């Protein structure tokens, strides 16, 4: 299976890419020896007494799929509550990207794990 | 090929030369006969096969009877290794303990048959390589045992382009074989047992044929694999040179073609195309010299390769060249760009119309980093950041300059996204 247009679009023009200097949580997962490393920065805000992801940025070392996964994931959870973001699973990401080649599905899992790790980090601190 | 696109992946495959296609056309149309048929249709097809076989024999400096046409180099490699071991088992019995020596940077078409044989109880030594991707003669000599029957070392590595000392290896094996035989002869008849098998020397020369001398006599080679589509010929055709007297048992059974070494109706258009492609490489010269045509191509290609290497090293910080320019084909330039992953670079280049390849796991189906780069001592952490350029006969300086212009901003962009890079 080839990459979808949507994967290529997010790979070429990644959304929310970069750092947040005073982030409320930062998580990193993956290993350069395996070819993928993802880092997610979160800025948490409040809306109607609920904690929401006010801002999210990512950095990724990896293939087109890894970059596209982190890019689309940030779009999917920005402005959402932490509970909603914790519900996000890999299948939704793959669906949103219009599919991923079978050997790239692990990239979507790594993306979800990195996001959830950042959220839990924040929840444990507060 | 579209004029806009730039193809720098000649180790993967090469475009078919128009002259090769021209030679093949009659055998794809009117001359469709089976060369095993006795009637005129068969005989005209056989004429095409015979001519191609003669061209190969001239280029390799061997007899036409020593050429076995195969579906490609993968089959040629399988036939060389599995066919030899099978034949020796038939000759010496299933309990015959054998030892094979190969290198750790071989193509999977060598490594996987070797691993399969290991599972069947045959011992295999995988020689390490140095930082240039070259085996050490001392290590090879030390690893040879009394029961070593096969040494299979590739002529040129496909990923980094390193050239192995094929003639030296051939000479060493010849010397050891002569000594083995002398000792056996000098032992009393009652004590000496069965005459020892010699060590057979096979080389996978797929990536060498374009650039280097493939005279099997000069290089002391017993078996040599080559492929059509790596030398501007068609896909689906290759050949194995098997020196007279080297035992080979067929892998496929059935049609008894190729003097019982490879069954299956001959791929006549492919064989004719392979012959035409070899013919375009020019006439073999003596004493290990390359042909004047090879000389001409090598000069042109290495000039462009050096331009590419200089341009990349000058414009991309921390770019690391994995190809040793003095000990490689003129066409290879394998780089590591720390901080970025190879498949990402490949895709962004492709979006600019430039085709290259990568040793990154992410671009392969097995998710393992290149075994060649790892064997050369390159750390796993950066092995995923490799990009291979392989130039060809039709590469131009305009194309190279475009790569030098387009690549640095791509690397910069990906490093900017990367967790593994800090400016």
Lowest mean pLDDT of A24-38, B193-207, B359-373, B400-414, name the range.
Answer: B359-373
Q: How many CB pairs under 8 A join A and B?
A: 70
Mean local confidence (pLDDT), B317-334: 97
Q: How many Å is the Cα radius of gyration of chain B?
A: 23
What percent of chain B is predicted at pLDDT more than 90? 92
**What is the structure's pLDDT at B361?**
62
- Could you tell me if the ipTM is greater than 0.90? yes
Q: Model confidence at B359, in pLDDT bands (50, 70, 90)?
A: confident
Mean pLDDT over A12-39 rounds to 94
* Cα distance between residue B341 and residue A81, in whole Å: 33
**Residue B363: band (very low, low, confident or very high) from pLDDT cuts 50, 70, 90:** low
- Best mutation target among B337, B340, B344 (most A Cβ atoms within 10 Å) is B344
Long-range pairs for B21-24 at CB < 8 Å and ≥24 separation?
B21/B273, B22/B276, B23/B272, B23/B273, B23/B275, B23/B276, B24/B234, B24/B269, B24/B270, B24/B272, B24/B273, B24/B276
| Across A45-72, average pLDDT | 95
Kindly report the pTM of this predicted structure: 0.94
C-alpha–C-alpha distance, residues B152 and B84, integer Å: 12
Above 60 in pLDDT, residue B98? yes
Q: Is the pLDDT of residue B383 over 80?
A: yes
pLDDT of res. A70: 97
Q: Which residue has the tokens 């979800």?
A: A112
Residue B101, beta-bridge partner list: B125, B151
B370 touches chain A (CB under 8 A): no
User: Residue B4: which pLDDT band, with cuts at 50, 70 and 90?
Assistant: confident
Look at the alpha carbons of A57, A61, A67, A72 in this order and tell me if their dihedral is positive or negative: negative
**Does B94 score more than 80 pLDDT?**
yes
A32's tokens: 């350069």
Task: Fill in the DSSP letter of residue B17.
Answer: P
Tokens of B168: 């030296």
What pLDDT is attached to residue B362? 63
Burial of B202 (0-12, 13-18, 19+ CB in 10 A): buried
- What pLDDT does B144 receive? 98
Q: Count of H helices and E strands in chain A?
A: 5, 3
d(CA A58, CA A40): 5
Task: Say what the pLDDT of residue B3 is.
Answer: 58
Least confident interval from B133-147, B335-349, B354-368: B354-368
User: Is the model's pLDDT at B365 over the cut of 70?
Assistant: no
Mean predicted confidence (pLDDT) in B46-56: 98
Residues in Cβ contact with B317 at an 8 Å cutoff, skipping those fewer than 6 apart? none
Q: Mark which residues 45-64 of A lie under 8 Å from B by CB.
A: 59-64
A14 touches B: beta carbon within 8 Å: yes
Express the helix, strand and coil content of chain A in percent, nearest 5 each.
Answer: 45, 25, 25
Q: Residue B28, Cα to own-chain centre: how many angstroms?
A: 27
Q: Each residue of B223-259: pLDDT tens digit?
A: 999 999 999 999 999 999 999 999 999 998 888 889 9
Average pLDDT, chain A: 95
- Contact at CB, A32 and B382, closer than 8 angstroms: yes
Q: Mean pLDDT over residues B364-388, rounded?
A: 88
Domains, chain B, ranges and CATH? Answer: 6-14+292-417 (3.90.1150.10), 18-279 (3.40.640.10)
Q: Is B319 helix (H, G, I), strand (E, B) or coil?
A: coil
Decide which of A35 and B372 is more confident. B372
Res. A103 pLDDT band, cuts 50 70 90: confident
**Residue B388: how many CA atoms within 13 Å on its side-chain side?**
25
- Report the mean per-residue pLDDT for chain B: 95
Distances (CA, A) of A6 to A3, A95, B117: 8, 11, 45
Q: Contact A64/B343, CB-based, under 8 Å?
A: yes
pLDDT tens for each residue of B289-304? 999 999 999 999 999 9
What token pair was written down for B382? 């950066």
Alpha carbon of B47 to those of B149, B269, B278: distances in Å? 37, 12, 17
Q: Which of A3, A14, A33 sits opposite B381 (nearest CB)?
A: A33
Q: Please give the pLDDT value at position B422.
A: 85
- Rounded CA gap, B39 and B55, in Å? 24
Can you state the angle between helices B18-28 and B40-60, rounded to 10 degrees?
150
CB contact under 8 A, B419 and A38: yes
Asked if A66 has any chain B CB less than 8 Å from its own CB, the reply is: yes
Task: Produce one character per residue of A79-111: b if its CB has 16 or more CB atoms within 10 Å, e if not.
Answer: ebbbeebbebebeebbebbebbeebbbbbbebb
Q: Is A98 helix (H, G, I), strand (E, B) or coil?
A: coil
Pairing label, strands B238-242, B67-70? antiparallel
Specify the pLDDT at position B113. 98
CA distances (Å), origin A48, targets A51, A81, B338? 8, 10, 45
Q: Which of B115, B119, B105, B104 is nearest to B81 (CA)?
A: B115
Instruction: Say whether pLDDT at B2 is over 70.
Output: no
Q: Grade residue A26 by pLDDT with cuts at 50, 70 and 90.
A: very high
Average pLDDT over residues B340-356: 96
CA distance B338 to chain A (A): 10
| C-alpha dist (Å) from residue B302 to B211, B278, B299 | 11, 21, 5
Q: Is pLDDT at B51 greater than 90 in this prediction?
A: yes
For range B341-346, the mean pLDDT: 95
Interface contact A34-B361, CB threshold 8 A: yes
Domains of chain A: 5-121 (3.90.1010.10)
């Amino acid at each position: 299976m080839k990459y979808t247009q949507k994967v290529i679009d997010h790979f070429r023009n990644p959304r929310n890419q970069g750092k947040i200097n005073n982030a409320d949580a930062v998580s990193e997962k993956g290993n350069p020896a395996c070819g993928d490393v993802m880092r997610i920065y979160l800025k948490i805000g409040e809306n109607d007494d609920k904690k929401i992801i006010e801002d999210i940025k990512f950095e990724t070392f990896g293939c087109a799929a890894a970059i596209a996964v982190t890019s689309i994931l940030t779009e999917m959870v920005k402005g959402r509550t932490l509970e909603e973001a914790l519900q996000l699973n890999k299948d939704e990401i793959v669906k949103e990207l219009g599919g991923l080649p079978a050997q790239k599905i692990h990239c979507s899992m790594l993306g979800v794990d990195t996001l959830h790790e950042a959220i839990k980090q924040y929840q444990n601190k507060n | 090929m579209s004029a806009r696109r730039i193809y720098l992946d000649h180790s993967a495959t090469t475009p078919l030369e128009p002259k090769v296609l021209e030679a093949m056309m009659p055998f794809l149309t009117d001359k469709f006969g089976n060369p095993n048929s006795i009637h005129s249709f068969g005989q005209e097809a056989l004429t095409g096969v015979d001519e191609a076989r003669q061209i190969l024999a001239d280029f390799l400096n061997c007899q036409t009877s020593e050429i076995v046409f195969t579906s490609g180099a993968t089959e040629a490699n399988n036939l060389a290794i599995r066919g030899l071991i099978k034949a020796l088992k038939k000759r010496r019995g299933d309990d015959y303990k054998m030892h094979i020596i190969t290198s750790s940077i071989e193509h999977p078409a060598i490594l996987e048959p070797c691993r399969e044989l290991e599972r069947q109880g045959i011992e295999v030594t995988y020689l390490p390589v140095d930082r240039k991707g070259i085996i050490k003669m001392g290590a090879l000599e030390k690893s040879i045992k009394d029961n070593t029957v096969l040494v299979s070392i590739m002529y040129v590595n496909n990923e980094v382009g390193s050239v192995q000392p094929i003639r030296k290896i051939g000479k060493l094996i010849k010397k050891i074989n002569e000594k083995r035989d002398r000792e056996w002869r000098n032992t009393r008849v009652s004590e000496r047992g069965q005459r020892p098998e010699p060590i057979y020397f096979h080389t996978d020369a797929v990536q060498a044929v374009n650039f280097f001398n493939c005279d099997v006599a000069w290089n002391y080679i017993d078996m040599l694999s080559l492929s059509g589509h790596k030398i501007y010929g068609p896909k689906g055709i290759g050949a194995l040179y098997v020196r007279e007297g080297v035992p080979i048992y067929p892998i496929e059974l059935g049609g008894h073609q190729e003097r019982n070494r490879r069954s299956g109706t001959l791929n006549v258009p492919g064989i004719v195309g392979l012959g035409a492609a070899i013919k375009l490489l020019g006439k073999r010269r003596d004493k290990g010299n390359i042909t004047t045509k090879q000389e001409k191509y090598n000069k042109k290609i290495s000039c462009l390769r050096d331009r590419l290497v200089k341009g990349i090293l000058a414009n991309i910080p921390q770019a690391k060249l994995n190809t040793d320019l003095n000990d490689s084909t003129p066409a290879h330039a394998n780089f590591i760009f720390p901080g970025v992953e190879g498949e990402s670079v490949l895709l962004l280049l492709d979006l600019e119309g430039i085709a290259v390849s990568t040793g990154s796991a992410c671009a392969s189906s097995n998710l393992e980093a290149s075994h060649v780069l790892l064997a050369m001592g390159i750390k796993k952490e950066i092995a995923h950041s490799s990009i291979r350029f392989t130039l060809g006969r039709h590469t131009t300086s305009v194309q190279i300059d475009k790569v030098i212009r387009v690549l640095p901003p791509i690397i910069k962009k990906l490093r900017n996204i990367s967790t593994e890079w800090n400016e």
